[in-house]
């Protein structure tokens, strides 16, 4: 059975403003200091799981050229352009429909474009085990990250203790972002994993699930798939996509389905959810400062500084994130990194489009 | 008796980096949002005390053109250029010598170029009283600021309770920067003032004091004064100035002299000694933020932000100073504003001259 990979690259990455902008969102940025963008790193991991012509990037059409410039070996047709952002459920159904049309049935891995993985060999091994568990076409396999601490910002996956095969366990339930006490309980319990948003399924199985659980989305994606390759495609794609509900695959499919397995994963995962992630994925100095660019620090600790040529002088700071770009500068207390989105909202409200 | 004013404008203003630079120190900047530089504001106050041709600016020769561009009505000869920085004692002796040569004896007010005064009418009134007390040529009059709180960063002037005349009191002693307990004691006592570095004296008296207490400086300034107007002036000035000790007028003259009066002053004085001063001399919002430039703040308080066109987004910050310039950015905790000088030292050490 052939394998395919779908990389979801349509996000806006607003929590990474001011580096992440409307015309250059987070997944197209290099945040790790190795010069490779998150999309490029994700594509490298995907290439261990599928051939390049079976790797699909789903994104907004405004990013098609950006994707192809960052992944020059990718067949241009493999960039699947969403005319509207409708969250992960329509995205997955769309990708599965087009992939079936183009390459026929496959064991498909779906993953976000903006996560980081430290141990890529371990990632490959685990994902191959997940694919083998998905191959019979009976189970969807979701990747669960072995939790490192009681994070309250992630959803959790509760699983049965004994593995069924290839390290995969039956999922008992998906749990929404917990409060602190519940998160600690989950860690103690040991049968909870972080929900990574990485899935493996046989395309025939996931399309069956859509037909059963989201028949409207299914019907529209069938019509999109039928039009693929014809002159009518763009018009049908736009019309059908606009009409689809904005829904996550977790809520629309996973939480309503039996036959879901999870594979506990410990490959050094980071979802790079806010500027706080940078101190975990990059090298810090002896005072836990993560510093990029031209910087002079006097008595600073626990600071994350992302600069460039312009000199940044930081004095006496603790727990501060500083991100400097040509036209905009962010200075944010580390306890408020989720509020960076509020800056973006404020800029929209005040019609300061040049900074979006 | 004619009156003159000497404005000391040779400082480097390193604590106001990155706005204050070697080629544009603090006194040539506008920090009050009214578009006038500190030198221009100081000159406006001086014009209430003396005619423009009797106002002298002492500065480094590299700033002569800058002074004249900011004070276009000033006679160019009234910019007195120090070839070397030798602190306030040589500066005062030099200015008094040249002034006597150019305009003859005068009642001379000497003041720094980088202080701010809120109530200029009150300033004029007090300075005229000081001048009348200096007129007989018996006493030097020093301006003492009525302290607002127990500041430990200033020297204090201890004075006799009963005024002699025109609101002037006899000085008992000058006190170095005190510890916190002493500063509080001084405030309670009521007979202590902040030493402002503003003096009034008859030129004949101050030159007598130099002859008595700093005879080497006196002799050199006599030679400089004698050469004034001749072709030999520049050479003699350079030679004599280089040989003078670097000494403050407080230590060299004031602390060693009887016959010093002080006039308690309450004209809204601020020495603008660090970036902390800006929140006192400019308008703040309801959360005590002083914000200049293009800024979006989310949940910030007690912050001082000096920006320009470039967008500054501040999130969740407390007690932080942010100063943005074209090529350099300062972010400094308010408890560390004195350490801004350390940035300048660091830049010198690393030979990053473009930022000095």
DSSP state letter for A301: B
CB-CB contact of A196 with A143 (8 Å) = yes
The CATH topology of domain A3-270 is Spore Coat Polysaccharide Biosynthesis Protein SpsA; Chain A (3.90.550)
- How large is the average pLDDT for residues B153-168? 91
Angstrom distance (rounded) from CA B311 to CA A354: 10
What's the burial of A127, exposed, middle or buried (CB within 10 Å: 0-12/13-18/19+)? buried
What's the burial of A189, exposed, middle or buried (CB within 10 Å: 0-12/13-18/19+)? exposed
Tell me the nearest-neighbour CA distance from A13 into chain B, angstroms. 17
What angle is formed at CA A300 by the lines to CA A299 and CA A305, rounded to 5 degrees?
Answer: 140
The percentage of residues in chain B with a pLDDT greater than 90, rounded to a whole number, is 94
pLDDT digits (tens, 9 = 90+) for B281-317: 889 999 999 999 999 999 999 999 999 999 999 999 9
pLDDT digits (tens, 9 = 90+) for B62-85: 999 999 999 999 999 999 999 999
Pairwise CB contact (< 8 Å): A298 & B342: yes
- CA-based R_g, chain A, Å: 21
What's the burial of A215, exposed, middle or buried (CB within 10 Å: 0-12/13-18/19+)? exposed
Chain B hits for A355, Cβ within 8 Å: 311
Angstrom distance (rounded) from CA A313 to CA A186: 42
CB-CB contact of A304 with B281 (8 Å) = no
Tell me the nearest-neighbour CA distance from A355 into chain B, angstroms. 8
Pairwise CB contact (< 8 Å): A331 & B317: yes
The chain-wide mean pLDDT, for chain B, equals 95
| Phi-psi label, residue A129: left if phi above 0, alpha if psi -120 to 50, beta otherwise | alpha
Q: Quickly tell me which residue has 């972002």 as its tokens.
A: A177
Question: Of A310, A330, A355, which has the smallest distance from its Cβ to B328's Cβ?
Answer: A310
pLDDT digits (tens, 9 = 90+) for B187-240: 999 999 999 999 999 999 999 999 999 999 999 999 999 999 999 999 999 999
DSSP B249-309: HHHHTGGG-S-EEEEEE-S-EE---SGGGHHHHS---TTS-EEESSEEEES-BS-EEE--S
Pairwise CB contact (< 8 Å): A336 & B311: no
Alpha carbon of A156 to those of A55, A129, A183, A262, B197: distances in Å? 28, 21, 9, 11, 67
CB-CB contact of B333 with B320 (8 Å) = yes
Q: How much is the pLDDT for B109?
A: 98
The full 3-state SS of B21-85, as one line of letters, equals ECCECHHHCCCCCCCCCHHHHHHHHHHCCCCHHHEEEEEEHHHHHHHHHHCCCCCHHHEEEECCC
Q: How much is the pLDDT for B119?
A: 96
Question: Of B322, B324, B347, which has the smallest distance from its Cβ to A296's Cβ?
Answer: B347
Residue A165 pLDDT level (bands cut at 50, 70, 90): confident
Query: How long a stretch of residues is chain B?
Result: 356
Tell me the nearest-neighbour CA distance from A27 into chain B, angstroms. 22
Q: How much is the pLDDT for B247?
A: 96
| Phi-psi label, residue B272: left if phi above 0, alpha if psi -120 to 50, beta otherwise | left
Residue B129 pLDDT level (bands cut at 50, 70, 90): very high
Angstrom distance (rounded) from CA A237 to CA A227: 8
Look at residue A125 and tell me whether its pLDDT is greater than 90: yes
Q: How much is the pLDDT for B32?
A: 83
What angle is formed at CA B281 by the lines to CA B52 and CA B131, rounded to 5 degrees?
Answer: 35
Chain A hits for B328, Cβ within 8 Å: 310-313
Alpha carbon of B20 to those of B30, B200, B331: distances in Å? 10, 29, 15
Interstrand relation of A55-60 and A3-8 (parallel, antiparallel or unpaired): parallel
Angstrom distance (rounded) from CA A26 to CA A344: 14
pLDDT digits (tens, 9 = 90+) for A9-47: 999 999 999 999 999 999 999 988 788 999 999 999 999
pLDDT digits (tens, 9 = 90+) for A328-348: 999 999 999 999 999 999 999
B82 CB neighbour count, 10 Å cutoff: 21
pLDDT digits (tens, 9 = 90+) for A81-107: 999 999 999 999 999 999 999 999 999
A45 Cβ contact partners less than 8 Å away, ≥ 6 residues apart = A111, A117, A120, A123, A124
Nearest CA in chain B to A335: B316
Angstrom distance (rounded) from CA B24 to CA A139: 71
Q: Quickly tell me which residue has 């962010």 as its tokens.
A: A330
Angstrom distance (rounded) from CA A84 to CA A23: 16
Look at residue A289 and tell me whether its pLDDT is greater than 90: yes
Nearest CA in chain A to B307: A329
For residue B7, give the 3-state DSSP assignment: strand
Q: How much is the pLDDT for A303?
A: 98
Q: How much is the pLDDT for B5?
A: 98
Q: How much is the pLDDT for B91?
A: 97
Tell me the nearest-neighbour CA distance from B331 into chain A, angstroms. 5
What's the burial of B241, exposed, middle or buried (CB within 10 Å: 0-12/13-18/19+)? buried
Alpha carbon of A79 to those of A37, A67, B23, B122, B258: distances in Å? 17, 8, 54, 74, 88
Chain B hits for A352, Cβ within 8 Å: 311
CB-CB contact of B274 with B13 (8 Å) = no
Q: Is the peptide bond before B261 cis (omega within 30 degrees of 0)?
A: no
Alpha carbon of A223 to those of A102, A217, A240, B41: distances in Å? 15, 10, 8, 75
For residue A56, give the 3-state DSSP assignment: strand
Q: How much is the pLDDT for B34?
A: 83
Pairwise CB contact (< 8 Å): A328 & B320: no
> Which of B168, B143, B161 lies closest to B250, judged by CA?
B143
Look at residue B264 and tell me whether its pLDDT is greater than 90: yes
Q: How much is the pLDDT for A199?
A: 98
Q: How much is the pLDDT for B33?
A: 74
Residue A321 pLDDT level (bands cut at 50, 70, 90): very high
Question: Of B310, B337, B339, which has the smallest distance from its Cβ to A328's Cβ?
Answer: B310
The percentage of residues in chain B with a pLDDT greater than 70, rounded to a whole number, is 100
Question: Of B313, B316, B332, which has the smallest distance from its Cβ to A335's Cβ?
Answer: B316
- How large is the average pLDDT for residues A102-131? 97
Q: How much is the pLDDT for A340?
A: 94
Q: How much is the pLDDT for B101?
A: 96
Question: Of A324, A337, A346, which has the smallest distance from its Cβ to B296's Cβ?
Answer: A346
A304 CB neighbour count, 10 Å cutoff: 24
> Which of B159, B163, B105, B158 lies closest to B136, judged by CA?
B105
Chain A hits for B337, Cβ within 8 Å: 315
Angstrom distance (rounded) from CA B138 to CA B158: 20
CB-CB contact of B217 with B244 (8 Å) = yes
Complex ipTM > 0.95: no
Q: How much is the pLDDT for B166?
A: 85
Q: How much is the pLDDT for A101?
A: 96
CB-CB contact of B336 with A315 (8 Å) = yes
- How large is the average pLDDT for residues A229-235? 95
Q: How much is the pLDDT for A163?
A: 82
Pairwise CB contact (< 8 Å): B331 & A332: no
Domain map of chain B by residue range? 3-270, 275-355
Residue A56: CA count within 13 A, CB half-sphere: 26
CB-CB contact of B314 with B322 (8 Å) = yes
Residue A155 pLDDT level (bands cut at 50, 70, 90): very high
> Which of A158, B88, A317, B67 lies closest to B80, judged by CA?
B67
Q: Quickly tell me which residue has 């059963």 as its tokens.
A: A212
CB-CB contact of A330 with A344 (8 Å) = no
- CA-based R_g, chain B, Å: 21
What angle is formed at CA B178 by the lines to CA B172 and CA B181, rounded to 5 degrees?
Answer: 110
- How large is the average pLDDT for residues B145-163? 94
Angstrom distance (rounded) from CA A273 to CA A278: 10
pLDDT digits (tens, 9 = 90+) for B21-59: 999 999 999 988 788 999 999 999 999 999 999 999 999
Nearest CA in chain A to B348: A296
DSSP state letter for A239: H
Angstrom distance (rounded) from CA B152 to CA B162: 26
């Amino acid at each position: 059975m052939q394998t395919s990979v779908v990389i979801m690259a349509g996000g806006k990455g607003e929590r990474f403003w001011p580096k992440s902008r409307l015309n250059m969102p987070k997944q197209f940025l290099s945040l790790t200091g190795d010069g490779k963008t998150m999309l490029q790193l994700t594509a490298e991991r995907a290439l261990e799981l599928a051939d390049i012509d079976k790797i699909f990037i789903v994104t907004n059409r405004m990013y098609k050229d950006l994707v192809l410039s960052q992944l020059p070996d990718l067949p241009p047709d493999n960039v699947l352009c969403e005319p509207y952002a409708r969250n992960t459920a329509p995205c997955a159904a769309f990708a599965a429909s087009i992939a079936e049309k183009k390459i026929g049935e496959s064991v498909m891995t779906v993953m976000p474009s903006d996560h980081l993985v430290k141990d890529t060999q371990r990632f490959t091994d685990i994902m191959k085990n997940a694919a083998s568990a998905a191959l019979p076409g009976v189970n969807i396999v979701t990747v669960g990250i072995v939790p490192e601490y009681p994070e309250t910002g992630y959803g959790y996956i509760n699983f049965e203790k004994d593995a069924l095969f290839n390290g995969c366990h039956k999922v008992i339930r998906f749990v929404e972002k917990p409060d602190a006490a519940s998160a600690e309980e989950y860690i103690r319990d040991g049968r909870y994993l972080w929900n990574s948003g990485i899935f493996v399924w046989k395309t025939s199985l996931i399309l069956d699930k859509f037909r059963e659980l989201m028949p409207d989305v299914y019907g529209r994606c069938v019509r999109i798939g039928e039009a693929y390759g014809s002159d009518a495609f763009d018009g049908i794609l736009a019309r059908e996509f606009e009409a689809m509900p904005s829904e996550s695959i977790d809520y629309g499919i996973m939480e309503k389905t039996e036959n879901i397995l999870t594979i506990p994963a410990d490959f050094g995962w980071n979802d790079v959810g806010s500027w706080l992630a940078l101190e975990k994925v990059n090298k810090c100095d002896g005072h836990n400062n993560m510093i990029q660019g031209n910087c002079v620090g006097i008595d600073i600790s626990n600071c994350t500084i992302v600069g460039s040529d312009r000199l940044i002088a930081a004095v006496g700071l603790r727990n501060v994130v500083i991100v400097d770009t040509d036209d905009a500068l962010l200075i944010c207390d580390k306890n408020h990194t989720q509020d960076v989105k509020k800056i973006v909202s404020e800029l929209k409200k005040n019609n300061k489009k040049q900074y979006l």
